[in-house]
Chain A
Amino acid sequence: MRKLLLIVTFILTLASIWIALTLGAVEGPTANPESPVRNIVYIHVPGSICALFCFVVLLTGSVGYLVTSRPKWDILAAASAEAGTIFAAISNVTGSVFSRAEWNIWWTPSPRLISAAILLLLYIVYLILRSSLAASPRRKARICAVFGIVAFIDVPMVIISARFIPDIHRPDFSFSSSWQSAAFVLSVAAMMLLGAVMISFKADILRIKNRLDEQSFS
């Protein structure tokens, strides 16, 4: 099943890259319309969507663990945090590259950029907390779940600031051709699938690690 998922992800990624670079190329930054940076939208926006998606999975895992105390929920939360960190980093870095090309600045303290940075920091701090807890596995899982839930309260602010607050950030644009829309939808689908595959692989690794830890204790 996972092999099939990997193949589908690979095909979708190739298809979205091909369409984005050929038929669906979007208008470039105002300063330099021919800049190759223009197609960053196909990575930046799906990266942001996946970072938020991973946080929803993290919240689900955290709440699930507090309610049921089953390790599988904690593993899901931990795996999604690692995947989310990568997507949040992609979103921040690609946004910064585009910002440099469009406005000649790497970063500015605008609400959306601050909230995107907060999202990345929340993921990083979650991972730091996870690695520095010196407690029993059950207690460690419970504490990480508590932080996951408290951290999630900051996420609606990220969504609100990206959608409703006037900002230097590029306004929501509509694609001028159906090829652009197709490339965008494909890139979002490819990245979401990639996120699911990453979470699944990481969850397997954590499950094996937990089993080994239990064996070494007994």
Chain B
Amino acid sequence: MKYFLLSFKAVFIKDVITELRARQVLPTMIVLGVLIVWILRTAAEAVSGGALIVGPVSLWLGVLFAGLLAQERSFAAEQEQNCICGLLLAPVDEGTIYLSKLLVNIVMLCIFELILVPVVIAAFRLNVSGRWLALVGFLLLGNVAISSVGTLFSAIVQLTRTRGSLLSVLVLVILMPMMIPATFALLAIFNSIGDELAGTGALAYVGSIRAAAGYLVVFDAVFVVVCWLLFSFAIKE
């Protein structure tokens, strides 16, 4: 356990220091996120009350696409100078490498959200009405889901001819089921819809904000475990 923590910390710190020195990913993520919000804010003008619906959706879109940028870089940087060989030769379990990369990606998304959430709230004039804790919780659950799948596939796409574009397709198709309860939760938190929704649509099937939380927790748990178990198969030469 002590060895796991030591190696986990070493890989985590290496990645954080690399990002702090190079400052490659975070500025790009922020610019992309703000651009997405700006474009959707303009589109929301078309319908009265559109900002209430488009606002929370733009937050998820920003997080999703900015997350993809962060995840793509997490293994592209290792591949460029063949650092991945050094990492694999080091006496560190592949699962530990996956978990540290996962944590780095989650931290990057959290820092990104610290900037994007106020921007979205201000741009769309959204009202959280004292549900900050729920907002933070759902964003964290979303970050774990996006990063768990993204970190695994980031290692995979380095061997493909299309890299970044393929990563977005691979990750988004797996995350599609997760995005429905995640969207429901943010719409409910920003009072765009009620806490409970009846009907036959995809959002109505989520039903309530509590059910959305349960769905996301299960999704996170299943995908973190499965991706962690499969990572060594994906990375091995």
Contacts and interface: CB of A to CB of B under 8 A. Distances in A.
B173 A118 contact: yes
Interface string B8-29: 0000000000000000000000
Contacts of B176: 114, 118, 121, 154
Interface stretch (A27-35, A53-61, A144-152, A198-206): A144-152
Given A110-B200, A150-B149, A118 B177 contact: yes
Nearest to B200: A168
Nearest to A140: B159
Contact of B236 (A108, A111, A118, A142): A142
Contacts of B222: 153
A166 B174 contact: no
A165 interface: yes
B169 A150 contact: no
A125 B230 contact: no
Contact of A139 (B159, B173, B177): B159
A146 B233 CA distance: 7
Interface string A124-145: 0100110011110001101101
- A interface secondary structure, majority: helix
A189 B222 CA distance: 34
A125 B173 CA distance: 8
Interface residues of A, number: 35
Contacts of A143: 156, 159, 233-234
A67 to B, nearest CB: 10
Contact of A129 (B166, B202, B227): B166
B166 A128 contact: yes
Contact of A149 (B156, B170, B226): B226
Contact of A150 (B152, B180, B200, B201): B152
A118 B176 CA distance: 8
A66 interface: yes
A149 B176 CA distance: 16
Contact of A114 (B173, B174, B202): B202
Contacts of A39: none
Interface string A147-178: 10111011001000100011110000000000
Given A143-B156, A153-B223, 9 more contacts: A122-B174, A125-B169, A132-B160, A132-B166, A134-B161, A147-B170, A150-B152, A150-B223, A154-B177
Nearest first, the 3 A-B pairs at minimum CB distance are A135-B159, A132-B160, A111-B205
Interface of B: 149, 152-153, 156, 159-162, 166, 169-170, 173-174, 176-177, 180, 200-202, 205, 222-223, 226-227, 230, 233-234, 236-237
25 contacts: A66-B233, A110-B202, A118-B177, A121-B176, A122-B173, A125-B169, A128-B169, A129-B160, A132-B160, A132-B161, A132-B162, A133-B159, A133-B160, A134-B160, A139-B159, A142-B233, A146-B152, A147-B153, A150-B227, A151-B174, A153-B222, A154-B174, A165-B205, A166-B200, A166-B205
